[in-house]
A and B are shown apart, each in its own frame.
Chain A
Amino acid sequence: MARSRRVGGALRRAASLAGVVPFVLYVAVFLGIPLATVVAGAFRDGAGRFTLGNVRASLTSPQYTDAFGQSLLLAAWTSVVGAVFGVWLAYAVVTAREGGVLRRVVSTASGVLAYFGGVPLAFAFIAALGQTGLTTRWLQSAGVDLYAAGFRIDSITGIGLAYVYFQIPLMVILVTPALEGLRPQWREAAQNLGASAWGYWRHVGIPVLAPAVLGATLLLFGNAFAAYATALALVNGTIPLVPSQIQAALGGNVLVGQENVGLALGLDMVVVIAALMVGYALLQRRATRWLT
Chain B
Amino acid sequence: MRRPPRVWRWAIFALAAVYFLVPLGAAAEFSLRQGESGYGAANYLEIARDPALRDALTSSLRIAFATIVITLALMVPTVVYVRLRLPRLGLLLEGVTVLPIVIPPVVMAAGMAFMQANFTDATSQWLFSSPLTALTPFYVILALPFTYRSLDAGLRAIDLQTLVEAARNLGAGWWTVLGRVILPNIRTAVLGAAFLTLALVLGEVVIARILLYVTFPVQVVETGQTSAGVSVALSLASLVLTWVLLLVLSFAGGRGRRRLVGGIA
**Which residue of chain B lies nearest to A34 when distances are taken between CB atoms in the complex?**
B111
Interface size counted on chain B using CB atoms at 8 A:
99
Contacts of B22 in A (CB 8 A): 128, 135
A232 to chain B, nearest CB (A): 6
> Does A65 have its Cβ within 8 Å of any Cβ on chain B?
no
Cβ-defined partner of A19 (8 Å) among B4, B77, B140, B205: B77
B159-179 near A? 1/0 per residue, CB < 8 Å? 000000000000000000000
- In the complex the two chains form, is A116's CB within 8 Å of B104's CB? no
* Structural contact, B100 and A31, CB atoms closer than 8 A: yes
Pair B264/A111 contact, Cβ less than 8 Å: yes
* Given A23-B75, A35-B107, A112 contacting B206 (CB threshold 8 A): no
A111 CB contact (under 8 Å) in B98, B217, B232, B261: B261
| B158 contacts chain A at the CB level, 8 A cutoff | no
Least distance between B259 CB and chain A CB atoms (Å): 6
Across chains A and B, the number of contacting residue pairs, with CB separation under 8 Å, is: 300
Interface 0/1 of B9-50, CB less than 8 Å to A: 100110110011011111101110000000000000000000
Which of A119, A135, A180, A270 meets B103, CB within 8 Å? A270
Q: In the docked arrangement, what's the CA distance between A37 and B82, Å?
A: 30
Using A31-B141, A127-B27, A135-B22 as known contacts, say yes or no to A104 and B250 having CB atoms under 8 A apart: yes
Task: Kindly state whether residue A133 has any CB partner on chain B within 8 Å.
Answer: yes
Question: Would you list which residues of chain A between 8 and 48 have a CB under 8 Å from chain B?
Answer: 16-17, 19-20, 22-23, 26-27, 29-31, 33-38, 41
Structural contact, A120 and B78, CB atoms closer than 8 A: no
A33 to B116, CA, bound (A): 12
- Which chain A residues have a beta carbon within 8 Å of chain B's beta carbons? 16-17, 19-20, 22-23, 26-27, 29-31, 33-38, 41, 85, 88-89, 91-92, 94-96, 98-99, 102-105, 107-113, 115-121, 123-129, 133-135, 164-165, 168, 170, 172-173, 176-177, 180, 182, 184, 187, 219, 222-223, 225-229, 232-233, 236, 242-243, 246-247, 250, 259, 262-263, 266, 269-270, 273, 276-277, 280-281, 284-285, 288
- Which residues of B come within 8 Å of A, CB atoms? 1-4, 8-9, 12-13, 15-16, 19-20, 22-27, 29-31, 74-75, 77-78, 81-82, 85-86, 89, 91, 93-96, 98-115, 137-138, 140-141, 144-146, 149, 153, 192, 196, 199-200, 202-206, 209-210, 217, 220-221, 224-225, 228, 231-232, 235-236, 238-239, 242-243, 246-247, 249-251, 254, 259, 261-265
Supplied contacts A108-B246, A288-B91, 9 more A-B pairs, CB within 8 Å:
A29-B137, A95-B2, A107-B264, A112-B243, A127-B23, A127-B31, A176-B264, A219-B98, A228-B104
